[in-house]
């Protein structure tokens, strides 16, 4: 997949007609997958390429009062772009959603961007909006000369799959549900750094993760996870929290990897969040903590065997 970053619409000069997919893709969930697969199907029928016009950061940054969460994503940039390619996208056009971009009228958006991108067919979700007056898909069909393909909502358990629903699931620790909505496992990538080395003294050494990307973290708690190291996955249990038993104050991500005993400081790992085991609890002492961790280990190792 070719990636083209631009700041001014005058930089756009594609040669081939394309099926153009519109939207903001904060993590590629099953609803987005339906858009991309429909675009690929149409492109194959008509002998066209598939392109996406989107933004690297949330459009809400141009409108809403700033909150740090607005800079976070459901999926890392690398993973998002890889999924787009896997689902059949040939070209990705990225521009920042600025006040200037937001000021375009619906007519200007069509003329400056859609026509310049040589769009033959547009693919958008049923709830897509564009232009300075938040025109909807009916306006898109009226303003665009070519074909407009509207993809209806994709549901899971009778409720629309959306980025906001997935964020809510992650932030409340429901990572198993988040994975079902995404269509793949929610993950966190980072480098292994030194921590307090307390886990090693009680028989549960942990890899402390310093995350690379601006990706949402699960709610505080203990989770069943897989950890990928150098392309190989290992079952693990991981915690997100402040280690309250030892009066910790910093939020940390730590993973105890089963059947693994080498030092991996400085190495890149990926934690795949599979299911939540329990909330974080402050224990009265190390013995009580170790007893609970043995129970957590049994849950983690048995997870998925009955699926």
How confident is the model over 129-151, as pLDDT tens digits? Answer: 999 999 999 999 999 999 999 99
Region of 221 please: left (phi>0), alpha (psi -120 to 50) or beta. left
**Model's pTM, two decimal places?**
0.89
* Beta partners for residue 207, in sequence order: 255
152 contacts 34 by C-beta, under 8 angstroms: no
In angstroms, the CA 206 to CA 236 distance is: 10
From the list 233, 240, 234, 229, the residue with the least C-alpha distance to 277 is 240
From the list 195, 231, 187, the residue with the least C-alpha distance to 211 is 187
55 contacts 22 by C-beta, under 8 angstroms: no
Residue 13 buriedness (CB in 10 A; 0-12 / 13-18 / 19+):
exposed
Phi, psi of 151 (to 5 degrees): -100, 125
In angstroms, the CA 248 to CA 295 distance is: 22
240 contacts 220 by C-beta, under 8 angstroms: yes
- In terms of DSSP H, where are the helices of the chain? 30-46, 77-86, 99-102, 106-109, 137-143, 163-171, 175-182, 198-201, 286-302
- Could you tell me the domains of the chain? 2-152 (3.40.50.620), 163-302 (2.40.30.30)
What is the SS3 string spanning 131-175? CCCCECHHHHHHHCCCEEEEECCCEECCEECCHHHHHHHHHCCCH
From the list 294, 292, 274, the residue with the least C-alpha distance to 283 is 292
Q: What is the pLDDT of residues 259-273, one digit of tens each?
A: 888 889 999 999 999
pLDDT tens string, the chain, 307 residues long: the values are 999 999 999 999 887 999 999 999 988 999 999 999 999 999 999 999 999 999 999 999 998 899 888 999 999 999 999 999 999 999 999 999 999 999 999 999 999 999 999 999 999 999 999 999 999 999 999 999 999 999 999 999 999 999 999 999 999 999 999 999 999 999 999 999 987 655 555 557 788 999 888 899 999 999 999 999 999 999 999 999 876 544 455 778 999 999 888 889 999 999 999 999 999 887 766 777 888 889 999 999 999 887 5
């Amino acid at each position: 997949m070719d990636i083209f970053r631009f700041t001014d619409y005058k930089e756009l000069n594609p040669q081939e007609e394309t099926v153009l997919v519109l939207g903001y893709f904060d993590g590629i969930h099953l609803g987005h997958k339906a858009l991309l697969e429909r675009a690929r199907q149409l492109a194959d029928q008509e002998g066209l390429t598939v392109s996406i016009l989107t933004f690297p950061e949330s459009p809400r940054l141009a409108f809403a009062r700033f909150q740090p969460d607005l800079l976070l994503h459901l999926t890392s940039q690398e993973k998002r772009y890889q999924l787009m390619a896997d689902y059949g996208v040939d070209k990705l056009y990225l521009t920042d959603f600025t006040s200037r971009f937001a000021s375009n009228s619906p007519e200007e958006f069509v003329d400056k961007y859609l026509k310049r991108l040589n769009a033959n067919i547009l693919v958008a979700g049923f709830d897509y909006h564009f232009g300075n007056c938040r025109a909807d898909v009916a306006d898109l069909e009226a303003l665009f000369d070519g074909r407009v393909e509207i993809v209806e909502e994709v549901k899971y358990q009778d409720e629309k799959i959306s980025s906001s629903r997935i964020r809510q699931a992650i932030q409340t620790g429901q990572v198993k549900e988040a994975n079902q909505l995404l269509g793949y496992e929610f993950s966190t990538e980072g480098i292994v750094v030194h921590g307090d080395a307390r886990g090693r003294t009680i028989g549960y050494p942990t890899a402390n993760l310093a995350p690379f990307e601006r990706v949402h973290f699960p709610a505080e708690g203990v989770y069943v996870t897989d950890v990928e190291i150098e392309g190989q996955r290992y079952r693990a249990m991981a915690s997100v929290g402040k280690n309250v038993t030892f009066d910790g104050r910093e939020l940390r991500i730590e993973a105890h990897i089963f059947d693994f005993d080498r030092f991996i400081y400085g190495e890149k790992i990926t934690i795949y969040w599979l299911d939540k085991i329990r909330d974080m609890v402050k224990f009265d002492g190390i013995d009580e903590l170790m007893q609970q961790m043995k129970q957590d280990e049994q849950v983690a190792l048995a997870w998925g065997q009955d699926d």
